[in-house]
Amino acid sequence: VASEHFWPKKKLECLSLNHADVVIVGSTKPDDVPVSWIKPGTTIISCSHDLLSGEVIVQDDVSILQSNMVKNTERWIQSQQYRKWDLRCLKLQLLSPVPSDIEISRAQSPKAVDVLAKEIGLLTDEVEIYGQTKAKVRLSLLERLKDQPDGKYVLVAGITPTPLGEGKSTVTIGLVQALTAHLNINSFACLRQPSQGPTFGVKGGAAGGGYAQVIPMEEFNLHLTGDIHAITAANNLLAAAIDARILHENTQSDKALYNRLVPVVNGVRGFSAIQLARLRRLGISKTDPGSLTEEEIHKFARLDIDPSTITWQRVVDTNDRFLRKITVGQANTEKGFVRQAQFDIAVASEIMAILALTTSLQDMKERLGKMVVANDKKGEPVTAEDLGVTGALAVLMKDAIKPTLMQTLEGTPVFVHAGPFANIAHGNSSVLADKIALKLVGEKGFVVTEAGFGADIGMEKFFNIKCRASGLIPSVVVLVATVRALKMHGGGPNVTAGAPLKKEYTEENLQLVADGCCNLQKQIQITQLFGVPVVVALNVFKTDSPAEIDLVCKIAKQSGAFDAVPCDHWSAGGRGAVKLAQAVEKAANQKNSFKYLYSLELPIVEKIRIIAQKVYGAQDIELSPAAQSQVDRYTRQGFGNLPICMAKTHLSLSHQPERKGVPTGFILPISDVRASIGAGFIYPLVGTMSTMPGLPTRPCFYDIDLDPITEQVKGLF
C-alpha cells in the first residue's frame, strides 16, 4: 500500500489495512501510516518512492501490488523464513518450598499470545487468537515454509512407571525452557491436550508441574480451544446416525427408504455428492435417481448393519462410570429396538487418534470417511462414508485440526494438540503440531514431544505408527527415569497413588536402585532397536541421595545411553535442565540410523509377535479364538497391512502389572483384536482395557472453586 505521499489520505482510509500482514510505505518514514488503521503484528516496510513504480490497483478491500512492488514483498517474506527468534523470556521467581502448580501458574503473567506468535515468526494471518493466552495456528504455514529445513526432533519417553508417573511432561517442558530461555536456542514443546474428565476426578492437572509448566494451567486443563468438544460432537453425531439408520431401515420398505434418501426438492430429484460416491463404490455408474433398478435401489438404500457388530461407541469428556455399560433405545419411539452399548471417555474416540495422525484437511476427511463402525450382515465393513456423514464430521473438526499455541512458565512456545489414549490408541500428540513446530524452530532448533506410558508402549508406537504417518525422523530420545521407579523395579514395596511412600523410597537404598536399573537398561536397548541415540534424564526428587543419582547415571551410560543427566527443572525451571539440554544438543548431532521395527507387509500376527518378543521380551504370543477370528476378518477385509497399536498395561513390560523389572519367559495373551481403520492401525488387546474412568468417593472437584470477584480458579493442582 502506498503512503499518503502517493495516495490522498481519503483513499488510504478506504483500504482495509486491518487485513494486511505487510504494509509497504512509499516513504522512508514508516510512521506515515496512522497506527489506528493497522492490526498488531503488521510489518511496515519503508522504501523509496522509486520502488513504487509498478501500477497499484486498489480493489474493494484488497490492494494488489504489481511489478517490482510484488517482488520486493516476496523477497521480504523470504527473508523472514530463517531467523533466530527474538523472544522475550519470562523471568522466574523461584520459591522454596515449591508452591502448588496453580499458585506458580497464577504468579506468572503470560505474554499476550499475539506477541508470542510474532516472536516465533508467525504471520498475522496464520494465527487465530482465542482470548489472551491461546491461539490456533493455520496449516497454511506448512505451505509457506515448505522449503525450510526441519529442526531436530526429540522424543521424551520413560522407563516403566509407577502409578504416580515419572514426570515426562515436566521433563519435556523443562527441556524447552532450558533450550530457549537459557541456551538461546529456538525450541518448541508439543504436548497432548489432557482429558477434562480426570481434572475433576483423581488426577488433577497435566500441564507439567512446579517450575516447568504450561501456563495458564487452568486454560490448558479445561476447554482449551474446544478440540475435545469438537471430537465429542463428531463422534456422537456418527453414533446417532448409526442407530437412527438401523431404525429407519427396519421400519421402511426399500421404496420408502429410497424416496426419503433421494427426495424431490423443488421439483428436482438428485443424489448428493456423498450418495454418488456410494453408488460408485457399489459399482453403479448411474446418476439419475429415476434410472436405478429395484436391485440397485436395494443395494443403495440398505446398509444392513448387523447391530451385534457395532464397534462405534458414544463418548463424553467426563469420568462417568455408570455409562460403562448401558442399554439404549428403550423409549417407545424407538419401537423396541434396544441394544447394549457404552460410552467411552472422549479422548478414546478414534477421531482423536485421527486428529493426532492426520497430515492435512484432505487427509483428515479421508480418514474420517474410512472409519469402520460395524459390519453388515454379509460381514463387510460399514463406514462413516456409507452413512453419508463424512463431510459433516470434517466440518465439525475444521478448527480442531489447527494446533493450539500456548507458552511455558518462561515464555517459550508450546503446541497443545490432540491427546489420544495411550493404550487403545498411540498416545502421542499430533503430527501436524510437530510438523509446524519443526518449520518454526528452523534447522538449528529443537522440537520436543512426548510419548505416553513407558518407552515399550509409547515410544514403540511413536516410531512405528506416528513416524510412519508423518515421515519424520527423530533425532534423539530422552528417557525419563526416577530413583523411585527404579527402586520399585529393584524389588521395593508397592507404590499406590494417594498413599504415603514407604521408607524405602524416602531413604537412600543403593541396592534397590542398582537392582532396578535393569528396567532402565532394557528400555535403553529398546530405543537402540530403532537406531536413535538416547539421553537418560533422571528426574530428581529431594529425597534422592547424591550416591543414588550418580549410580543411575553411571549404569545408564554403561548400558549404552549417549549421556545421563540429573534434572531439577521442577524446582528450578529451565535452569535445572540446562545440562540435559546440552546433552540433547550433542546427541542430536550423532549418527542416526532410524528404522522401523517391522515391515507393514508382514501378516498381523507376525507384527504382533515381533513387538512382543523384541520390545516386551515375551517368549511368544497366544491369540484367543476371538482374536484369531478378528485377525482373519481384518486380513480378508484388506486391513492386514496396517501397523499395530498394542493395548497393554503400562505398569510392566509384560501383561501383568505386578511383574516389575524385566520380566522374561512369559507368553503374551491376545484376548481380542480390534481396528481403527480411519486412524490406520490394528489394536490387539492384552487383557481388558478400561475406556471410561470413574469418580472416587471424594473427587478433586471438592477443592476446585472460582473466585467470582477476581475470576481466579482455585484448587486445581
Q: Which is nearer to its own copies, 259 or 545 (CB)?
A: 259
- 424: which DSSP letter? S
The nearest distance, CB 23 to its own copies, in angstroms, is 9
154 three-class SS: strand
Judging by beta carbons within 10 Å of its beta carbon (0-12, 13-18, 19+), is residue 658 exposed, middle or buried?
exposed
The nearest distance, CB 213 to its own copies, in angstroms, is 18
541 in active site:
yes
422 in active site:
yes
- The one catalytic residue in 85, 312, 562, 570 is 570
Name beta bridge partners: 127: 137
CB 370 within 8 A of CB 681: no
Cell of 532: 536413535
Q: Which is nearer to its own copies, 154 or 242 (CB)?
A: 242
The nearest distance, CB 93 to its own copies, in angstroms, is 11
75 in active site:
no
**Phi-psi region for residue 138, left (φ > 0), alpha (ψ -120 to 50) or beta?**
beta
Strands 672-676 and 681-685: antiparallel
- The one catalytic residue in 111, 136, 138, 168 is 168
570 in active site:
yes
CA distance 205 to 219: 10
- The one catalytic residue in 233, 422, 455, 481 is 422
- The one catalytic residue in 118, 192, 278, 365 is 192
421 in active site:
no
The nearest distance, CB 229 to its own copies, in angstroms, is 4
Q: Which is nearer to its own copies, 360 or 582 (CB)?
A: 360
* End-to-end Cα separation, the chain, in angstroms: 50
CA distance 340 to 329: 9
155 three-class SS: strand
Going from the C-alpha of 151 to that of each of 82, 101, 179, 484, 699, the distances in angstroms are 11, 31, 13, 34, 42
612 in active site:
no
The nearest distance, CB 436 to its own copies, in angstroms, is 16
Q: Which is nearer to its own copies, 43 or 525 (CB)?
A: 43
6 in active site:
no
Q: Which is nearer to its own copies, 236 or 475 (CB)?
A: 236
170 in active site:
yes
341 three-class SS: strand
The nearest distance, CB 635 to its own copies, in angstroms, is 31
The nearest distance, CB 298 to its own copies, in angstroms, is 15
Q: Which is nearer to its own copies, 355 or 611 (CB)?
A: 355
348 C-beta neighbours (distance < 10 Å), count: 22
Q: Which is nearer to its own copies, 72 or 232 (CB)?
A: 232
- The one catalytic residue in 170, 383, 390, 482 is 170
Name beta bridge partners: 623: 670
Going from the C-alpha of 596 to that of each of 212, 460, 463, 673, the distances in angstroms are 32, 9, 7, 22
CA distance 524 to 536: 9
Catalogue the active-site residues.
168, 170, 192, 203, 422, 453, 541, 570
